[in-house]
Amino acid sequence: LLGGYLVVDPAVGGSGWIAGGLFAVAAGGDAVDGPVARAADAVTELGAELDVEVDGATVLVGGAAAVVAGAAPVAFLLVGVARPVFAYGLRRRRRRGLPVYDLRPSRLRVPIGGVAMLATWLALLPVPGEAASRLVTTGAMVPVVGSFVRDWLVASGRI
């Protein structure tokens, strides 16, 4: 449903609130699915993989909608494409027989992902306004992209 906002005129009355609400539902679902699975003792490897992919799709579609609405710079699309490009790079290295190194646990990955989600959500809402949203999304873009670049350098053995 959120993807529909890639083709809806952002000037349509109330559309920002609806887009922000749809993104909040998707992000909120993401925040509770893991704890619910753990509480129900229903954690699976497939579920963990799907969680990461759905998170990435949510940020990609939400970020693209924010860019289309003019509330985020085009460069903010880097936040949405970082995950699929990273995953593609890992698959390509494996197919070519190149080593892929495990990433160490990080206390920063989850908060940085949260920053991306929060910035995207704010950009989709009619408030705080286009200028402030562009500033917030630009500020959020730096740690998100930087985190993926660092993780790529580690996973590819460069650092």
Dihedral sign of CA atoms 158, 63, 46, 21 in order: positive
Query: Would you place residue 128 in the very low, low, confident or very high pLDDT band (cuts 50, 70, 90)?
Result: confident
- In degrees to the nearest 10, what's the CA dihedral of 87, 55, 104, 99? -10
Query: In the predicted model, is pLDDT for residue 97 greater than 90?
Result: yes
Contact by Cβ (8 Å): 71, 130: yes
Report the mean per-residue pLDDT for the chain: 90
Residue 2 token pair: 């959120």
> What is the Cα–Cα distance from 16 to 126, expressed in whole angstroms?
5
Residue 12 zone, left/alpha/beta (φ > 0; ψ -120 to 50; rest): beta
pTM: 0.85
- pLDDT (tens digit per residue) in 58-86: 999 999 999 988 899 999 999 999 999 99
Per-residue confidence band for 33, with pLDDT thresholds at 50, 70 and 90: confident
**Mean local confidence (pLDDT), 6-18:** 72
